[in-house]
Structure 1
Amino acid sequence: MTTSVAVLRASRPNFLLLAPLCAGLGLALVWRQGVVPSLLDTLLVFAGALLAHAAVNLLNEYEDFASGLDLITRRTPFSGGSGSLPQQPEAAPPVLMATAVTLTLVGLIGLWFLWQRGWPMLVLGGAGVVLVVTYTRWITRSPLLCLLAPGIGFGPVMVLGSVIALGGRLDSTALVTALVALLLVSELLLLNQLPDTEADRQIGRRHLPITLGRRRAAGLVSLLLMAAFMVIALGVGAAVLPALCLVALIPAPVALWRIIARLPAATIDDQRLMPVLAANVAVILTCLALLLVALLLATPAG
């Protein structure tokens, strides 16, 4: 494995679909408001989202390797990192350099939109950079922050940041959409922490599966997942979201059957946990994609 391949693997490209989905929600929201952003701004928003997501993955890989966590964790397709640095330790400095490069590019894109849109971009963009830089080393030491930070990064920061960057406004539809993304992404990261509980405990992390225990943390996973579906239903009922957004509830039966019903047994048997993790990723990505498509199709003509 070459160094460039190790750096690419450390960015976890298989998980980067979440960023364009959240940026796409921002684009759909501004189209719904009658705003047609320029092609340049649209490309920069998607590039910034992907680079920010890659940056937090790269920094997480580097710091998990430097702390020794990579040497004691049991990797799964959904947790434990890519394993690229334990296999090729000499790639650690290039991974750190790639982190700096991606963050610099994110900062330059942010400065472009700060010049165009003013201080709201400074608030949201600055919050995003802080989350990227502090997540692995500091935020994972605080159970509540560790729960909320991923959802805030992809919901309020990425979805609402995309809306502002593309010239839109923060209306009730945008706020509800960002809340759905917040709940789903925080649920995703919380569930993916379950297999890493013991290894994370050994290096001083304090996320909820450590402080609450795996079973109670799994109960919170179920609450967050159902809360996201409930927000969509209530948003449609209150006419904040278009009625077509009900299609985003299509994955709900799968969530009940393949995730919520199986989680109690899966918390004590990691072999049962793997199919639950896979189903969870599929449910979350499908829900966000359907919400994106619904917002696009329900955009008023003209």
Structure 2
Amino acid sequence: MLSQLTTIWRAMRPPFLLLPLVLMLLVMMTASYDGFVWSPYLMALIAISAVIAHASVNLLNEAEDASSGLDDRTERTPFSGGSGALQTHPKHWSRVAGFGYFCLGTLLSLGLFFIHLRGLAVFYFGILGIFLIVAYSRFITRSPGFSLIAPGLAFGPIMMVGSYYVLTGVVSITIIGLSLLVFIWVNNLLLLNQFPDVEADRSVGRYNRVIAKGTASCSELFRAALLLSYLGLAVLIWLGRLPVESLLGFLTLTLAWPLQVGVKNHYNELQQTPSLLALNVAVVLLTPALIALGLFWAMQ
């Protein structure tokens, strides 16, 4: 029993579950800055749903990668190549997959409550999210274009805008703008993590952007997208959609600059330079957290 629970826990990739929590913090602060008084109980349910959604896709992805043999062919880093949980305990494959679908069922139940609360519009966010969870490992990873944008769609426009709508009953220009920044950061997160796994991914039939266009081209895309995200943040502040206190988000330029330089010079050596993957994770987590802090500061 203990080994089953440990395997499931590792396959959930708990450190990665910080991302939906940070994004829910940003949703919460944006709603407050926009003048809404929201229910903390509802916000808690929304945050739980976001974490469950991410846990579900992690579990199902681990199960699919173990089944296809992909995780046996990758060289793991803390940020890519799978958790290794099912390589250590392959007999628990059905438990990991089963718990992934249990999380999915729980998410559907919470979604029905949100639909009851806010109406049919929530259904459209939910059905898109469920599709991305179920289709990601088996189908989406075989499309260079869709696999590039699917992670950002899931965490940005779907998760953030959907959560804001459930919390407030409306959608604001501010949350849409922020969700587009998150769209870029999360796409970049997954894009860079694919660099070390190119040959392993190709061997099991995946055909993502890095395989289709090569690491040199994708490193340029990564760097351009990173620059665009900070330009987008500047535009939101300039337009008055975010307060000047949101300039705190630019503090992560101290991480983003060495990150883009490193990717430019070492895009074929990311397996040997996991510090670049770590910098990328830090940018993705800290930038929205600092923007949320700026929103909180502006309300004081």
Q: What's the TM-score bracket when you normalise by the shorter of the two chains?
A: over 0.9
Any conservation in 2 of the 1:58–1:95 contact (CA below 8 Å)? yes
Q: What is the DSSP-based 3-state SS (H/G/I as helix, E as strand, rest coil) of the residue aligned with 1:86? A: helix
How far 1:9 sits from its partner (Å)? 0.2
Name segments (4+ residues, structure 1) moved above 6 Å.
none
Match of residue 70 from structure 1: 71
Q: What is the DSSP-based 3-state SS (H/G/I as helix, E as strand, rest coil) of the residue aligned with 1:37? A: coil
Match of residue 32 from structure 1: 33
Match of residue 293 from structure 2: 293
Alignment of 1:203-214 (within 5 A): 203-214=204-215
How far 1:270 sits from its partner (Å)? 3.4
1:58-88 deviations in Å (ceiling 9; x for gaps):
0000000001101111111110110000110
Any conservation in 1 of the 2:7–2:86 contact (CA below 8 Å)? yes
How many angstroms apart in 1 are the aligned matches of 2:49 and 2:297?
Answer: 25
How far 1:40 sits from its partner (Å)? 2.1
Match of residue 103 from structure 1: 104
How many angstroms apart in 1 are the aligned matches of 2:236 and 2:295?
Answer: 13
Any conservation in 1 of the 2:73–2:200 contact (CA below 8 Å)? yes
Any conservation in 2 of the 1:28–1:296 contact (CA below 8 Å)? yes
Match of residue 125 from structure 1: 126
1:81-104 deviations in Å (ceiling 9; x for gaps):
100001100110000111111111
Any conservation in 2 of the 1:176–1:235 contact (CA below 8 Å)? yes
How far 1:20 sits from its partner (Å)? 0.9
Match of residue 274 from structure 1: 274
Any conservation in 1 of the 2:195–2:268 contact (CA below 8 Å)? no
Any conservation in 2 of the 1:27–1:162 contact (CA below 8 Å)? no
How many angstroms apart in 2 are the aligned matches of 1:20 and 1:279?
Answer: 19
1:18 matched to 2:19: yes
1:146 matched to 2:111: no
Point out where structure 1 has 5 or more consecutive residues left out of the alignment: none
How many angstroms apart in 2 are the aligned matches of 1:32 and 1:169?
Answer: 14
How far 1:287 sits from its partner (Å)? 0.5
How far 1:265 sits from its partner (Å)? 2.6
Identity of paired residues, percent? 36
Any conservation in 2 of the 1:30–1:168 contact (CA below 8 Å)? no
Alignment of 1:183-194 (within 5 A): 183-194=184-195
1:269-288 deviations in Å (ceiling 9; x for gaps):
23553111111111221111
Q: 1:84 to 1:272 in 2, by over 3 A?
A: closer
1:231-290 deviations in Å (ceiling 9; x for gaps):
00111111121111111011113211x211111331222355311111111122111110
Point out where structure 2 has 5 or more consecutive residues left out of the alignment: none
Match of residue 83 from structure 2: 82
Match of residue 249 from structure 1: 250
* Amino acid corresponding to residue 32 of structure 1 in structure 2: Y
* Amino acid corresponding to residue 19 of structure 2 in structure 1: L
How many angstroms apart in 1 are the aligned matches of 2:122 and 2:94?
Answer: 31
Any conservation in 2 of the 1:267–1:273 contact (CA below 8 Å)? no
Structure 1-normalised TM-score?
0.96
How many angstroms apart in 2 are the aligned matches of 1:178 and 1:270?
Answer: 28
Q: What is the DSSP-based 3-state SS (H/G/I as helix, E as strand, rest coil) of the residue aligned with 1:166? A: helix
Any conservation in 2 of the 1:71–1:86 contact (CA below 8 Å)? yes
Match of residue 217 from structure 2: 216
Match of residue 202 from structure 1: 203
Match of residue 226 from structure 2: 225
Structure 2-normalised TM-score?
0.96
* Amino acid corresponding to residue 109 of structure 1 in structure 2: L
Q: 1:271 to 1:70 in 2, by over 3 A?
A: closer
How many angstroms apart in 2 are the aligned matches of 1:30 and 1:239?
Answer: 15
How many angstroms apart in 1 are the aligned matches of 2:106 and 2:298?
Answer: 34
Any conservation in 2 of the 1:30–1:169 contact (CA below 8 Å)? no
How far 1:33 sits from its partner (Å)? 2.4
Q: What is the DSSP-based 3-state SS (H/G/I as helix, E as strand, rest coil) of the residue aligned with 1:36? A: coil
How far 1:8 sits from its partner (Å)? 0.5
1:283 matched to 2:283: yes
